[in-house]
């Protein structure tokens, strides 16, 4: 028995890095993917950084709604940066290897920020609920201190919860093979490579995922149920359009994010559906951070006005 344990330990220590299979070994496809991901990453950074600058610089955007939006844009910058730099480097150099420790770090930040995003989306829906359904009480309830507490608790909860899963995954034994069938270190493709018993761990991971997706999603559904009911009671058509325009951008973002992430983790883990899983993962992990600032800027008149004001001030100084 001791001899078997020694052998297992040796096998485990032999796996010091993994290979990210990505999207295949077609060289032409890799060049195209590199250009696409590079453009997406640059647009993501530019759009979200611009949104943060506008929220900080323009006094008219110093409201709870735009405080949440500024933090959301900061989140998207880090969220996309956990995956795309490594993906771009792999596509450019052809080196798909990733160390065991870096793989865990990548998953930790990606999963933590994903959990934070779920909570921030629900916080933003609650903000719209108060603004539309309880406008006379909005200022008192959604004060600066409460807004900071909501944002802080969202970040703290997300990072603490994923810390537990990372500790459990780090204790698994990996005896080979070492090829992760994904373009980043997602937890389920990773634990498939483990030679340990992962049955209980998978159940725990699904429970954690449910806790960080279902309650926020239910809060969003309840909030928008109340919002739609309130909007339908507004007598004028222009009043209904104005009320709905304040939350339509957020509703689009929620639909894209939750729609793709739900399909990815509900689909059966079969060889046939793995490629579809990776394509859908691109939507919520890569495209969503790029689309979000575009949706909020193109559909939000206050953001457009703030951008014009900042451009006018910039040219006035020159």
The mean pLDDT of the chain is 84
Q: What is the dotted CATH code of the domain comprising 17-317? A: 1.20.1070.10
Q: In the predicted model, what is the mean pLDDT of residues 224-239?
A: 87
Q: Name every residue whose Cβ is closer than 8 Å to that of residue 202 and which is 6 or more positions away in sequence.
A: 188, 191
Both tokens of 76, joined, read: 């998207």
Residues 157 and 129: their CA atoms lie apart, in Å, by 22
What is residue 9's predicted lDDT score, i.e. its pLDDT? 41
Q: Name every residue whose Cβ is closer than 8 Å to that of residue 286 and which is 6 or more positions away in sequence.
A: 37, 40, 80, 83, 84
Tens digits of residue pLDDT in 242-300: 778 778 888 888 888 888 777 777 766 666 667 777 778 888 888 888 988 888 876 67
Tens digits of residue pLDDT in 80-95: 999 999 999 998 888 8
């Amino acid at each position: 028995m001791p001899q078997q344990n020694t052998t297992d330990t040796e096998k485990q220590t032999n796996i010091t890095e993994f290979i990210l299979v990505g999207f295949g070994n077609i060289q032409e496809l890799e060049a195209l993917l590199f250009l696409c991901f590079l453009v997406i990453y640059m647009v993501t950074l530019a759009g979200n950084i611009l949104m943060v600058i506008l929220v900080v610089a323009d006094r008219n955007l110093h409201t709870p709604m735009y405080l949440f939006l500024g933090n959301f844009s900061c989140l998207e910058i880090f969220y996309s940066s956990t995956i795309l730099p490594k993906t771009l480097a792999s596509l450019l150099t052809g080196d798909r290897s990733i160390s065991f420790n870096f793989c865990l770090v990548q998953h930790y930040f990606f999963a933590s920020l994903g959990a934070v995003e779920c909570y921030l989306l629900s916080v933003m829906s609650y903000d719209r609920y108060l603004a539309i359904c309880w406008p006379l009480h909005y200022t008192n309830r959604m004060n600066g201190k409460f807004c900071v507490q909501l944002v802080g608790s969202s970040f703290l909860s997300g990072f603490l919860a994923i810390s537990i899963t990372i500790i459990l995954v780090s204790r698994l034994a990996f005896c080979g093979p070492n090829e992760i069938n994904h373009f980043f270190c997602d937890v389920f493709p990773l634990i498939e490579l483990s030679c340990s018993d992962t049955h209980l761990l998978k159940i725990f991971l699904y429970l954690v995922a449910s806790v960080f997706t279902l309650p926020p999603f239910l809060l969003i559904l309840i909030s928008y149920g109340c919002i739609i009911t309130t909007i339908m009671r507004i007598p004028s058509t222009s009043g209904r359009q104005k009320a709905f325009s304040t939350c339509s951008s957020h509703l689009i973002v929620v639909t894209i994010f939750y729609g793709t992430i739900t399909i990815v983790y509900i689909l059966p883990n079969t060889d046939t559906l793995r490629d579809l899983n990776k394509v859908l993962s691109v939507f919520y992990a890569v495209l969503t951070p790029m689309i979000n600032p575009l949706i909020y800027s193109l559909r939000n008149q206050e953001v457009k006005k703030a951008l014009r004001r900042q451009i006018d001030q910039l040219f006035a100084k020159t």
